[in-house]
Structure 1
Amino acid sequence: MSADARTILAAAEEHCADPHIFNEAGCTFQAPSVSLFFPTPWFSYDLPYTSGFTKYTALLIVVVLLVSAFWYFTTRNAKVVPGRAQGVAEALVGFVRDQMVRTTMGKAGEKYMPLMVTLFTFILAMNVMGLIPGFQLPVTSNLAFPAVLALSIYVLWNYVGVREHGFAGHFKGKLVPSGAPKWILPLLIPIEFISNFVFRPLTHAIRLFATMFAGHMLLAVFAAGGFYLFNPDAGGIWGGISVGYSAIALIGFLVFTAFELFIMALQAYVFVLLASFYIGDAIEGAH
Protein backbone atom coordinates (compact mmCIF):
# COMPACT_ATOMS: atom_id res chain seq x y z
CA MET A 1 0.00 0.00 0.00
CA SER A 2 1.36 3.43 -0.95
CA ALA A 3 2.11 6.15 1.56
CA ASP A 4 -0.76 8.30 0.26
CA ALA A 5 -3.20 5.39 0.45
CA ARG A 6 -2.19 4.73 4.05
CA THR A 7 -2.69 8.41 4.88
CA ILE A 8 -6.13 8.47 3.31
CA LEU A 9 -7.10 5.20 5.01
CA ALA A 10 -5.95 6.45 8.42
CA ALA A 11 -7.90 9.69 8.00
CA ALA A 12 -11.04 7.80 7.00
CA GLU A 13 -10.82 5.40 9.93
CA GLU A 14 -10.23 8.28 12.31
CA HIS A 15 -13.34 9.98 10.92
CA CYS A 16 -15.48 6.85 11.30
CA ALA A 17 -15.15 3.29 12.55
CA ASP A 18 -16.70 1.96 9.32
CA PRO A 19 -15.56 4.33 6.55
CA HIS A 20 -17.49 2.70 3.70
CA ILE A 21 -20.71 3.28 1.82
CA PHE A 22 -23.90 1.62 3.10
CA ASN A 23 -22.53 1.48 6.64
CA GLU A 24 -24.85 1.29 9.64
CA ALA A 25 -22.99 4.00 11.57
CA GLY A 26 -24.08 6.73 9.18
CA CYS A 27 -20.53 7.58 8.14
CA THR A 28 -20.19 9.96 5.22
CA PHE A 29 -17.40 10.29 2.67
CA GLN A 30 -14.26 11.86 4.10
CA ALA A 31 -12.48 13.69 1.29
CA PRO A 32 -8.68 14.03 1.38
CA SER A 33 -7.47 17.33 2.80
CA VAL A 34 -4.52 19.56 1.99
CA SER A 35 -2.69 17.88 4.86
CA LEU A 36 -1.41 15.51 2.16
CA PHE A 37 0.89 18.33 1.08
CA PHE A 38 2.21 19.05 4.56
CA PRO A 39 3.98 15.84 5.61
CA THR A 40 5.19 15.57 9.19
CA PRO A 41 8.94 16.32 9.42
CA TRP A 42 11.05 13.24 10.04
CA PHE A 43 13.38 15.41 12.08
CA SER A 44 13.91 19.13 12.54
CA TYR A 45 16.98 21.32 12.44
CA ASP A 46 17.51 24.75 13.87
CA LEU A 47 17.37 26.86 10.71
CA PRO A 48 15.05 29.80 10.00
CA TYR A 49 12.21 29.47 7.46
CA THR A 50 12.46 25.67 7.28
CA SER A 51 10.03 22.92 8.26
CA GLY A 52 12.69 20.30 8.88
CA PHE A 53 13.57 17.19 6.90
CA THR A 54 10.30 16.14 5.32
CA LYS A 55 9.20 13.73 2.63
CA TYR A 56 9.71 16.53 0.11
CA THR A 57 13.37 16.81 1.10
CA ALA A 58 13.89 13.06 0.81
CA LEU A 59 12.21 12.95 -2.61
CA LEU A 60 14.31 15.88 -3.81
CA ILE A 61 17.46 13.95 -2.90
CA VAL A 62 16.10 10.88 -4.73
CA VAL A 63 15.38 13.00 -7.82
CA VAL A 64 18.88 14.51 -7.83
CA LEU A 65 20.43 11.06 -7.56
CA LEU A 66 18.18 9.58 -10.26
CA VAL A 67 18.74 12.40 -12.76
CA SER A 68 22.49 12.41 -12.11
CA ALA A 69 22.65 8.64 -12.53
CA PHE A 70 20.60 8.78 -15.73
CA TRP A 71 22.92 11.25 -17.43
CA TYR A 72 26.05 9.58 -16.11
CA PHE A 73 25.19 6.07 -17.27
CA THR A 74 23.74 7.14 -20.63
CA THR A 75 26.66 9.37 -21.65
CA ARG A 76 29.78 7.99 -19.96
CA ASN A 77 30.70 5.79 -22.95
CA ALA A 78 29.24 7.83 -25.79
CA LYS A 79 29.75 6.28 -29.23
CA VAL A 80 29.20 7.40 -32.81
CA VAL A 81 26.59 4.67 -33.20
CA PRO A 82 24.55 5.04 -30.00
CA GLY A 83 23.25 2.13 -27.99
CA ARG A 84 19.74 2.03 -26.57
CA ALA A 85 20.50 4.08 -23.45
CA GLN A 86 22.57 6.65 -25.31
CA GLY A 87 19.84 6.84 -27.95
CA VAL A 88 17.26 7.75 -25.29
CA ALA A 89 19.55 10.49 -23.95
CA GLU A 90 20.23 11.86 -27.44
CA ALA A 91 16.53 11.84 -28.29
CA LEU A 92 15.82 13.78 -25.11
CA VAL A 93 18.53 16.33 -25.90
CA GLY A 94 17.26 16.64 -29.45
CA PHE A 95 13.71 17.20 -28.23
CA VAL A 96 14.76 20.02 -25.86
CA ARG A 97 16.99 21.58 -28.53
CA ASP A 98 14.52 21.46 -31.43
CA GLN A 99 11.23 22.04 -29.61
CA MET A 100 12.28 24.56 -26.96
CA VAL A 101 15.71 26.16 -27.31
CA ARG A 102 16.09 26.77 -31.04
CA THR A 103 12.50 27.92 -31.47
CA THR A 104 12.95 30.63 -28.81
CA MET A 105 16.66 31.52 -28.82
CA GLY A 106 17.97 30.37 -32.19
CA LYS A 107 21.67 29.52 -32.42
CA ALA A 108 22.41 31.77 -29.44
CA GLY A 109 20.64 29.21 -27.27
CA GLU A 110 23.25 26.48 -27.82
CA LYS A 111 25.24 27.65 -24.79
CA TYR A 112 22.12 27.26 -22.61
CA MET A 113 21.40 23.69 -23.71
CA PRO A 114 22.94 22.01 -20.63
CA LEU A 115 20.78 24.18 -18.37
CA MET A 116 17.58 23.54 -20.29
CA VAL A 117 18.13 19.79 -20.61
CA THR A 118 18.88 19.56 -16.89
CA LEU A 119 15.83 21.66 -16.04
CA PHE A 120 13.54 19.50 -18.16
CA THR A 121 14.69 16.16 -16.77
CA PHE A 122 14.83 17.52 -13.21
CA ILE A 123 11.29 18.93 -13.29
CA LEU A 124 9.91 15.85 -15.05
CA ALA A 125 11.46 13.59 -12.40
CA MET A 126 10.09 15.76 -9.58
CA ASN A 127 6.63 15.59 -11.14
CA VAL A 128 6.70 11.83 -11.72
CA MET A 129 7.41 11.21 -8.04
CA GLY A 130 3.66 11.71 -7.61
CA LEU A 131 2.92 8.45 -9.45
CA ILE A 132 5.57 6.11 -8.08
CA PRO A 133 4.15 3.75 -5.42
CA GLY A 134 5.65 4.41 -2.02
CA PHE A 135 6.56 7.97 -2.97
CA GLN A 136 3.35 9.38 -4.49
CA LEU A 137 4.03 13.04 -3.82
CA PRO A 138 5.11 15.33 -6.65
CA VAL A 139 7.93 17.50 -5.33
CA THR A 140 6.62 20.43 -7.34
CA SER A 141 3.33 20.36 -5.40
CA ASN A 142 5.25 22.32 -2.77
CA LEU A 143 5.41 25.92 -4.00
CA ALA A 144 8.94 26.41 -2.62
CA PHE A 145 10.51 24.23 -5.31
CA PRO A 146 8.89 25.79 -8.43
CA ALA A 147 9.49 29.21 -6.84
CA VAL A 148 13.23 28.61 -6.51
CA LEU A 149 13.46 27.36 -10.10
CA ALA A 150 11.46 30.32 -11.41
CA LEU A 151 13.54 32.74 -9.35
CA SER A 152 16.73 31.26 -10.82
CA ILE A 153 15.43 31.82 -14.35
CA TYR A 154 14.31 35.34 -13.38
CA VAL A 155 17.81 36.20 -12.09
CA LEU A 156 19.39 34.69 -15.21
CA TRP A 157 16.99 36.61 -17.45
CA ASN A 158 18.02 39.91 -15.87
CA TYR A 159 21.71 38.95 -15.88
CA VAL A 160 21.69 38.05 -19.57
CA GLY A 161 19.75 41.21 -20.44
CA VAL A 162 22.16 43.47 -18.56
CA ARG A 163 25.18 41.65 -20.02
CA GLU A 164 23.88 41.96 -23.59
CA HIS A 165 22.43 45.49 -23.48
CA GLY A 166 23.72 47.17 -20.34
CA PHE A 167 21.74 48.00 -17.23
CA ALA A 168 19.87 50.95 -18.72
CA GLY A 169 19.30 49.21 -22.05
CA HIS A 170 17.85 46.09 -20.48
CA PHE A 171 15.43 47.82 -18.14
CA LYS A 172 14.44 50.46 -20.68
CA GLY A 173 13.71 47.75 -23.22
CA LYS A 174 11.43 45.96 -20.77
CA LEU A 175 9.70 49.05 -19.37
CA VAL A 176 9.35 51.33 -22.38
CA PRO A 177 7.50 49.76 -25.35
CA SER A 178 9.10 50.61 -28.67
CA GLY A 179 7.24 53.32 -30.55
CA ALA A 180 4.97 54.28 -27.67
CA PRO A 181 4.21 58.04 -27.48
CA LYS A 182 5.78 59.82 -24.52
CA TRP A 183 2.50 61.07 -23.12
CA ILE A 184 1.30 57.52 -22.40
CA LEU A 185 4.54 56.27 -20.78
CA PRO A 186 3.48 57.18 -17.20
CA LEU A 187 0.65 54.69 -17.67
CA LEU A 188 2.56 52.03 -19.63
CA ILE A 189 5.74 51.85 -17.54
CA PRO A 190 3.99 50.65 -14.33
CA ILE A 191 2.01 48.13 -16.37
CA GLU A 192 5.16 46.83 -18.07
CA PHE A 193 6.98 46.67 -14.74
CA ILE A 194 4.23 44.62 -13.10
CA SER A 195 3.92 42.40 -16.17
CA ASN A 196 7.63 41.71 -16.70
CA PHE A 197 9.17 41.99 -13.25
CA VAL A 198 6.35 40.79 -10.97
CA PHE A 199 3.82 38.62 -12.82
CA ARG A 200 6.38 36.88 -15.04
CA PRO A 201 8.26 35.03 -12.26
CA LEU A 202 5.06 34.54 -10.24
CA THR A 203 3.13 32.88 -13.05
CA HIS A 204 6.18 30.86 -14.05
CA ALA A 205 6.24 29.25 -10.60
CA ILE A 206 2.53 29.11 -9.82
CA ARG A 207 1.57 27.46 -13.11
CA LEU A 208 3.72 24.41 -12.34
CA PHE A 209 2.82 24.30 -8.65
CA ALA A 210 -0.94 24.69 -9.11
CA THR A 211 -1.16 22.03 -11.82
CA MET A 212 0.75 19.45 -9.79
CA PHE A 213 -1.18 20.32 -6.61
CA ALA A 214 -4.56 19.99 -8.32
CA GLY A 215 -3.65 16.81 -10.19
CA HIS A 216 -2.39 15.05 -7.09
CA MET A 217 -5.46 16.11 -5.12
CA LEU A 218 -7.72 14.76 -7.87
CA LEU A 219 -5.99 11.37 -7.78
CA ALA A 220 -6.25 11.33 -3.98
CA VAL A 221 -10.01 11.98 -4.23
CA PHE A 222 -10.45 9.04 -6.63
CA ALA A 223 -8.38 6.80 -4.34
CA ALA A 224 -10.36 7.81 -1.25
CA GLY A 225 -13.63 7.53 -3.16
CA GLY A 226 -12.80 4.04 -4.36
CA PHE A 227 -11.99 2.98 -0.81
CA TYR A 228 -15.22 4.50 0.55
CA LEU A 229 -17.36 2.89 -2.15
CA PHE A 230 -15.93 -0.61 -1.67
CA ASN A 231 -18.09 -2.41 0.89
CA PRO A 232 -18.91 -6.00 -0.13
CA ASP A 233 -19.72 -6.72 3.53
CA ALA A 234 -22.86 -4.61 3.16
CA GLY A 235 -24.52 -7.80 1.97
CA GLY A 236 -27.02 -8.55 -0.76
CA ILE A 237 -27.63 -6.11 -3.55
CA TRP A 238 -25.96 -3.30 -1.61
CA GLY A 239 -22.67 -5.15 -1.48
CA GLY A 240 -22.81 -5.72 -5.25
CA ILE A 241 -23.66 -2.08 -5.92
CA SER A 242 -20.77 -0.94 -3.74
CA VAL A 243 -18.32 -3.13 -5.67
CA GLY A 244 -19.64 -1.72 -8.95
CA TYR A 245 -19.28 1.84 -7.70
CA SER A 246 -15.76 1.07 -6.52
CA ALA A 247 -14.86 -0.40 -9.91
CA ILE A 248 -16.00 2.80 -11.62
CA ALA A 249 -13.85 4.82 -9.22
CA LEU A 250 -10.88 2.55 -9.98
CA ILE A 251 -11.32 3.04 -13.71
CA GLY A 252 -11.47 6.79 -13.18
CA PHE A 253 -8.32 6.61 -11.07
CA LEU A 254 -6.43 4.71 -13.77
CA VAL A 255 -7.62 7.04 -16.54
CA PHE A 256 -6.67 10.15 -14.61
CA THR A 257 -3.32 8.60 -13.66
CA ALA A 258 -2.49 8.22 -17.35
CA PHE A 259 -3.74 11.75 -17.99
CA GLU A 260 -1.70 13.06 -15.05
CA LEU A 261 1.46 11.49 -16.47
CA PHE A 262 0.84 13.41 -19.69
CA ILE A 263 0.26 16.63 -17.73
CA MET A 264 3.48 16.08 -15.76
CA ALA A 265 5.49 15.87 -18.97
CA LEU A 266 3.58 18.81 -20.44
CA GLN A 267 4.26 21.02 -17.43
CA ALA A 268 7.98 20.23 -17.55
CA TYR A 269 7.89 21.18 -21.24
CA VAL A 270 5.98 24.42 -20.60
CA PHE A 271 8.28 25.50 -17.77
CA VAL A 272 11.42 24.98 -19.85
CA LEU A 273 9.84 26.51 -22.96
CA LEU A 274 9.01 29.66 -21.00
CA ALA A 275 12.50 29.71 -19.48
CA SER A 276 13.98 29.52 -22.98
CA PHE A 277 11.63 32.24 -24.19
CA TYR A 278 12.57 34.55 -21.32
CA ILE A 279 16.30 34.13 -21.91
CA GLY A 280 15.82 34.56 -25.65
CA ASP A 281 13.90 37.73 -24.91
CA ALA A 282 16.82 38.99 -22.81
CA ILE A 283 19.28 38.21 -25.60
CA GLU A 284 17.17 39.97 -28.22
CA GLY A 285 16.40 43.00 -26.09
CA ALA A 286 13.93 45.72 -26.98
CA HIS A 287 11.74 45.18 -30.03
Structure 2
Amino acid sequence: MADEVEFHPPSIGEFFPEAILFEGTPFEFTRINLAQVIATAVLVIILVFGTRKMRVVPGRGQQLLELLFGFVRESVVFQVLGRKDGKRFVPLLTAMFLGILFMNITGVIPGMNIAGTSVIGVPLLFAVIAYVTFIYAGIRRHGFGRFMKNSLVPGGVPGYLVPIISVIEFISTFVFRPVSLTLRLLLNLMVGHLMLVLFFAATHFFLLSFNWLTPLSVGSLALGFAFTLFEIFVAFLQAYVFTILTAVYIQLAVAEEH
Protein backbone atom coordinates (compact mmCIF):
# COMPACT_ATOMS: atom_id res chain seq x y z
CA MET A 1 0.00 0.00 0.00
CA ALA A 2 2.85 2.35 0.91
CA ASP A 3 4.38 1.89 -2.54
CA GLU A 4 1.17 3.11 -4.16
CA VAL A 5 1.11 6.40 -2.29
CA GLU A 6 2.95 9.24 -3.99
CA PHE A 7 3.74 12.63 -2.59
CA HIS A 8 2.60 15.44 -4.88
CA PRO A 9 4.40 18.65 -3.88
CA PRO A 10 2.93 22.04 -4.77
CA SER A 11 4.09 23.62 -8.01
CA ILE A 12 3.65 26.76 -10.05
CA GLY A 13 1.04 24.83 -12.01
CA GLU A 14 -1.35 25.50 -9.12
CA PHE A 15 -1.79 28.99 -10.56
CA PHE A 16 -2.58 27.77 -14.07
CA PRO A 17 -5.62 25.53 -13.53
CA GLU A 18 -7.59 23.97 -16.35
CA ALA A 19 -10.26 26.09 -17.98
CA ILE A 20 -13.85 25.76 -16.85
CA LEU A 21 -15.26 27.79 -19.73
CA PHE A 22 -14.03 29.24 -23.04
CA GLU A 23 -10.84 27.19 -23.16
CA GLY A 24 -8.28 28.45 -25.65
CA THR A 25 -9.87 31.89 -26.01
CA PRO A 26 -8.94 35.30 -24.52
CA PHE A 27 -11.97 34.84 -22.22
CA GLU A 28 -10.75 31.57 -20.68
CA PHE A 29 -12.37 31.11 -17.29
CA THR A 30 -10.67 29.07 -14.55
CA ARG A 31 -11.42 28.27 -10.93
CA ILE A 32 -9.25 31.25 -9.91
CA ASN A 33 -11.52 33.51 -11.95
CA LEU A 34 -14.49 31.81 -10.29
CA ALA A 35 -13.00 32.62 -6.87
CA GLN A 36 -12.56 36.24 -7.96
CA VAL A 37 -16.16 36.48 -9.16
CA ILE A 38 -17.50 34.90 -5.97
CA ALA A 39 -15.41 37.20 -3.75
CA THR A 40 -16.63 40.26 -5.66
CA ALA A 41 -20.27 39.13 -5.58
CA VAL A 42 -20.17 38.37 -1.85
CA LEU A 43 -18.58 41.74 -1.10
CA VAL A 44 -21.19 43.60 -3.17
CA ILE A 45 -24.06 41.69 -1.53
CA ILE A 46 -22.70 42.37 1.96
CA LEU A 47 -22.27 46.08 1.24
CA VAL A 48 -25.67 46.48 -0.44
CA PHE A 49 -27.70 44.62 2.17
CA GLY A 50 -25.53 45.71 5.10
CA THR A 51 -25.95 49.41 4.36
CA ARG A 52 -29.50 49.39 3.00
CA LYS A 53 -31.22 49.89 6.35
CA MET A 54 -28.79 51.66 8.65
CA ARG A 55 -30.02 52.04 12.24
CA VAL A 56 -29.10 54.43 15.03
CA VAL A 57 -28.63 51.38 17.25
CA PRO A 58 -26.68 49.05 14.92
CA GLY A 59 -27.09 45.31 14.77
CA ARG A 60 -24.13 42.93 14.60
CA GLY A 61 -23.79 43.11 10.83
CA GLN A 62 -23.92 46.90 10.80
CA GLN A 63 -21.42 47.03 13.68
CA LEU A 64 -18.95 44.89 11.73
CA LEU A 65 -19.28 47.07 8.63
CA GLU A 66 -18.89 50.24 10.67
CA LEU A 67 -15.82 48.72 12.32
CA LEU A 68 -14.23 47.99 8.93
CA PHE A 69 -15.16 51.38 7.48
CA GLY A 70 -13.97 53.14 10.62
CA PHE A 71 -10.69 51.24 10.61
CA VAL A 72 -9.86 52.27 7.05
CA ARG A 73 -11.05 55.84 7.57
CA GLU A 74 -9.33 56.52 10.90
CA SER A 75 -6.33 54.17 10.96
CA VAL A 76 -5.33 54.43 7.31
CA VAL A 77 -6.73 57.43 5.44
CA PHE A 78 -6.98 60.14 8.11
CA GLN A 79 -3.82 58.99 9.87
CA VAL A 80 -1.77 59.39 6.69
CA LEU A 81 -3.58 62.11 4.74
CA GLY A 82 -5.33 64.01 7.50
CA ARG A 83 -9.03 64.74 7.51
CA LYS A 84 -8.99 67.59 5.00
CA ASP A 85 -7.23 65.71 2.20
CA GLY A 86 -8.36 62.28 3.34
CA LYS A 87 -12.11 62.79 2.95
CA ARG A 88 -11.85 62.74 -0.85
CA PHE A 89 -10.07 59.40 -0.86
CA VAL A 90 -11.99 57.50 1.83
CA PRO A 91 -14.42 55.80 -0.63
CA LEU A 92 -11.66 54.70 -3.01
CA LEU A 93 -9.27 53.44 -0.33
CA THR A 94 -12.07 51.68 1.55
CA ALA A 95 -13.13 49.90 -1.64
CA MET A 96 -9.50 48.99 -2.30
CA PHE A 97 -8.99 47.57 1.19
CA LEU A 98 -12.19 45.52 1.16
CA GLY A 99 -11.65 44.31 -2.41
CA ILE A 100 -8.14 43.07 -1.68
CA LEU A 101 -9.22 41.54 1.64
CA PHE A 102 -12.05 39.55 0.08
CA MET A 103 -9.85 38.43 -2.83
CA ASN A 104 -7.16 37.34 -0.37
CA ILE A 105 -9.47 35.44 1.94
CA THR A 106 -10.65 33.04 -0.79
CA GLY A 107 -7.31 31.29 -0.32
CA VAL A 108 -8.54 29.71 2.91
CA ILE A 109 -12.18 29.14 1.95
CA PRO A 110 -12.92 25.41 1.53
CA GLY A 111 -13.90 24.61 -2.05
CA MET A 112 -11.97 27.54 -3.49
CA ASN A 113 -8.62 27.20 -1.71
CA ILE A 114 -6.85 29.79 -3.81
CA ALA A 115 -6.63 33.55 -3.42
CA GLY A 116 -8.01 35.74 -6.16
CA THR A 117 -4.87 37.85 -5.77
CA SER A 118 -2.49 34.91 -6.37
CA VAL A 119 -2.43 35.58 -10.13
CA ILE A 120 -0.97 38.82 -11.40
CA GLY A 121 -4.09 40.34 -12.98
CA VAL A 122 -5.79 41.44 -9.77
CA PRO A 123 -2.71 42.83 -7.95
CA LEU A 124 -1.74 44.64 -11.14
CA LEU A 125 -5.22 46.15 -11.46
CA PHE A 126 -5.14 47.48 -7.90
CA ALA A 127 -1.59 48.79 -8.46
CA VAL A 128 -2.70 50.64 -11.59
CA ILE A 129 -5.58 52.20 -9.63
CA ALA A 130 -3.14 53.32 -6.92
CA TYR A 131 -0.73 54.62 -9.57
CA VAL A 132 -3.35 56.65 -11.42
CA THR A 133 -4.78 57.98 -8.15
CA PHE A 134 -1.56 59.40 -6.73
CA ILE A 135 -0.61 60.96 -10.07
CA TYR A 136 -4.10 62.47 -10.41
CA ALA A 137 -3.97 63.80 -6.84
CA GLY A 138 -0.57 65.40 -7.39
CA ILE A 139 -1.48 67.01 -10.70
CA ARG A 140 -4.77 68.31 -9.35
CA ARG A 141 -3.05 69.86 -6.32
CA HIS A 142 0.05 71.31 -8.01
CA GLY A 143 -0.46 71.19 -11.77
CA PHE A 144 1.59 68.92 -14.01
CA GLY A 145 4.83 70.92 -14.04
CA ARG A 146 5.11 71.48 -10.32
CA PHE A 147 4.04 67.91 -9.54
CA MET A 148 6.80 66.53 -11.76
CA LYS A 149 9.32 68.90 -10.21
CA ASN A 150 8.34 67.87 -6.68
CA SER A 151 8.45 64.19 -7.66
CA LEU A 152 11.77 64.26 -9.49
CA VAL A 153 13.81 66.92 -7.70
CA PRO A 154 13.82 66.70 -3.89
CA GLY A 155 14.46 69.95 -2.08
CA GLY A 156 18.06 70.89 -1.36
CA VAL A 157 19.64 68.84 -4.16
CA PRO A 158 22.67 70.60 -5.69
CA GLY A 159 22.17 71.64 -9.32
CA TYR A 160 24.91 69.39 -10.69
CA LEU A 161 23.19 66.33 -9.17
CA VAL A 162 19.71 67.14 -10.50
CA PRO A 163 19.99 65.05 -13.74
CA ILE A 164 21.14 61.94 -11.86
CA ILE A 165 18.69 62.35 -8.99
CA SER A 166 15.82 63.01 -11.42
CA VAL A 167 16.40 59.71 -13.21
CA ILE A 168 16.62 57.82 -9.91
CA GLU A 169 13.47 59.51 -8.57
CA PHE A 170 11.60 58.86 -11.82
CA ILE A 171 12.39 55.13 -11.66
CA SER A 172 11.59 55.00 -7.94
CA THR A 173 8.32 56.93 -8.19
CA PHE A 174 6.86 55.96 -11.54
CA VAL A 175 8.27 52.46 -12.07
CA PHE A 176 9.16 50.81 -8.77
CA ARG A 177 6.03 51.92 -6.90
CA PRO A 178 3.47 50.10 -9.07
CA VAL A 179 5.82 47.14 -9.58
CA SER A 180 6.49 46.76 -5.85
CA LEU A 181 2.79 47.08 -5.00
CA THR A 182 1.96 44.36 -7.51
CA LEU A 183 4.72 41.93 -6.57
CA ARG A 184 4.37 42.34 -2.80
CA LEU A 185 0.70 41.37 -2.88
CA LEU A 186 1.09 38.69 -5.54
CA LEU A 187 4.07 36.87 -4.03
CA ASN A 188 2.77 36.87 -0.47
CA LEU A 189 -0.44 35.17 -1.56
CA MET A 190 1.34 32.77 -3.93
CA VAL A 191 3.75 31.63 -1.21
CA GLY A 192 0.91 31.27 1.29
CA HIS A 193 -1.02 29.04 -1.09
CA LEU A 194 2.01 26.87 -1.81
CA MET A 195 2.69 26.43 1.91
CA LEU A 196 -0.90 25.37 2.59
CA VAL A 197 -0.80 22.88 -0.29
CA LEU A 198 2.50 21.53 1.04
CA PHE A 199 1.16 20.93 4.56
CA PHE A 200 -2.08 19.28 3.48
CA ALA A 201 -0.43 17.24 0.71
CA ALA A 202 2.07 15.98 3.29
CA THR A 203 -0.80 15.10 5.63
CA HIS A 204 -2.47 13.07 2.88
CA PHE A 205 0.80 11.32 2.05
CA PHE A 206 1.69 10.49 5.67
CA LEU A 207 -1.82 9.35 6.55
CA LEU A 208 -2.12 6.91 3.65
CA SER A 209 1.41 5.53 3.96
CA PHE A 210 0.32 3.07 6.68
CA ASN A 211 3.81 2.80 8.09
CA TRP A 212 6.06 4.67 10.51
CA LEU A 213 5.28 7.92 8.64
CA THR A 214 1.57 7.79 9.47
CA PRO A 215 1.87 9.45 12.94
CA LEU A 216 3.54 12.42 11.25
CA SER A 217 0.20 13.25 9.64
CA VAL A 218 -1.00 14.62 12.98
CA GLY A 219 1.83 17.14 13.06
CA SER A 220 1.51 18.20 9.43
CA LEU A 221 -2.28 18.58 9.82
CA ALA A 222 -1.78 20.75 12.92
CA LEU A 223 0.75 22.86 11.04
CA GLY A 224 -1.71 23.16 8.16
CA PHE A 225 -4.46 24.48 10.42
CA ALA A 226 -2.02 26.83 12.19
CA PHE A 227 -0.82 28.18 8.86
CA THR A 228 -4.43 28.62 7.74
CA LEU A 229 -4.96 30.97 10.68
CA PHE A 230 -1.74 32.75 9.78
CA GLU A 231 -2.96 33.14 6.18
CA ILE A 232 -6.15 34.79 7.44
CA PHE A 233 -3.92 37.27 9.26
CA VAL A 234 -1.79 37.72 6.11
CA ALA A 235 -4.94 38.33 4.04
CA PHE A 236 -5.85 41.22 6.34
CA LEU A 237 -2.26 42.46 6.67
CA GLN A 238 -1.62 42.59 2.92
CA ALA A 239 -4.87 44.48 2.33
CA TYR A 240 -3.79 46.94 5.03
CA VAL A 241 -0.23 47.33 3.70
CA PHE A 242 -1.39 47.87 0.11
CA THR A 243 -3.97 50.46 1.17
CA ILE A 244 -1.71 52.38 3.53
CA LEU A 245 1.10 52.48 0.95
CA THR A 246 -1.38 53.90 -1.56
CA ALA A 247 -2.36 56.54 1.00
CA VAL A 248 1.32 57.35 1.62
CA TYR A 249 1.93 57.76 -2.13
CA ILE A 250 -1.07 60.10 -2.37
CA GLN A 251 0.23 62.09 0.58
CA LEU A 252 3.65 62.42 -1.06
CA ALA A 253 1.98 63.54 -4.29
CA VAL A 254 -0.02 66.31 -2.64
CA ALA A 255 2.77 67.46 -0.30
CA GLU A 256 4.31 70.81 -1.06
CA GLU A 257 7.85 69.45 -1.28
CA HIS A 258 9.46 66.02 -0.78
TM-score w.r.t. structure 2 length? 0.94
Check whether the contact 2:40–2:103 (CA below 8 A) recurs between aligned residues. no
Change in CA separation of 1:260 and 1:242 when aligned onto 2, cut-off 3 Å: same
Which residue does 1:106 correspond to in 2?
82
Shift of 1:243: 2.6
Check whether the contact 1:109–1:280 (CA below 8 A) recurs between aligned residues. no
Shift of 1:128: 0.6
Which of 161, 165, 172 is the equivalent residue of 2:138?
161
Q: In structure 2, what is the Cα distance between the partners aligned to 1:144 and 1:231?
A: 37
Residue type matched to 1:145 in 2?
Answer: V
Q: In structure 1, what is the Cα distance between the partners aligned to 2:256 and 2:21?
A: 47
Residue type matched to 2:253 in 1?
Answer: A
Residue type matched to 1:269 in 2?
Answer: Y
Which of 33, 50, 54 is the equivalent residue of 1:78?
54
Q: In structure 2, what is the Cα distance between the partners aligned to 1:126 and 1:230?
A: 32
Which residue does 2:194 correspond to in 1?
217
Check whether the contact 1:41–1:51 (CA below 8 A) recurs between aligned residues. no
Q: In structure 2, what is the Cα distance between the partners aligned to 1:105 and 1:166?
A: 19
Which residue does 1:13 correspond to in 2?
none
Change in CA separation of 1:100 and 1:28 when aligned onto 2, cut-off 3 Å: same
SS at match of 2:154: coil
Q: In structure 1, what is the Cα distance between the partners aligned to 2:97 and 2:121?
A: 18
Matched, 1:281 2:252: yes
Q: In structure 1, what is the Cα distance between the partners aligned to 2:34 and 2:208?
A: 36
Which of 261, 264, 267 is the equivalent residue of 2:238?
267
Q: Which runs of 5+ in 1 are unaligned?
A: 1-17
Matched, 1:122 2:99: yes
Which residue does 2:167 correspond to in 1?
190
Which of 227, 234, 237 is the equivalent residue of 1:256?
227
Q: Deviations over 1:106-148 (max 9, x none)?
A: 0111121111111111111101101111111101000111001
Check whether the contact 2:7–2:202 (CA below 8 A) recurs between aligned residues. yes
Which residue does 1:39 correspond to in 2?
17
Q: Deviations over 1:158-182 (max 9, x none)?
A: 1111111011111111100111110
Residue type matched to 2:61 in 1?
Answer: A
Q: In structure 1, what is the Cα distance between the partners aligned to 2:6 and 2:30?
A: 31
SS at match of 2:20: coil
How big is the alpha-carbon RMSD for the aligned residues of Structure 1 and Structure 2? 1.7
Shift of 1:52: 0.8
SS at match of 2:19: coil
Q: Larger Cα Rg: Structure 1 or Structure 2?
A: 1
Which residue does 2:151 correspond to in 1?
174
Which of 108, 127, 130 is the equivalent residue of 1:150?
127
Residue type matched to 2:50 in 1?
Answer: T
Check whether the contact 2:21–2:29 (CA below 8 A) recurs between aligned residues. yes
Q: In structure 2, what is the Cα distance between the partners aligned to 1:32 and 1:204?
A: 25
Q: In structure 2, what is the Cα distance between the partners aligned to 1:30 and 1:205?
A: 29
Q: In structure 2, what is the Cα distance between the partners aligned to 1:231 and 1:104?
A: 53
Percentage of pairs with the same residue: 35
Check whether the contact 1:44–1:52 (CA below 8 A) recurs between aligned residues. yes
Q: In structure 2, what is the Cα distance between the partners aligned to 1:214 and 1:242?
A: 26
Structure 1 stretches of 4+ with a deviation exceeding 6 A read none
Shift of 1:30: 3.0
Check whether the contact 2:151–2:253 (CA below 8 A) recurs between aligned residues. no
Q: In structure 1, what is the Cα distance between the partners aligned to 2:32 and 2:148?
A: 37
Residue type matched to 1:85 in 2?
Answer: G
SS at match of 1:178: coil
Residue type matched to 1:122 in 2?
Answer: G
Q: In structure 2, what is the Cα distance between the partners aligned to 1:220 and 1:285?
A: 48
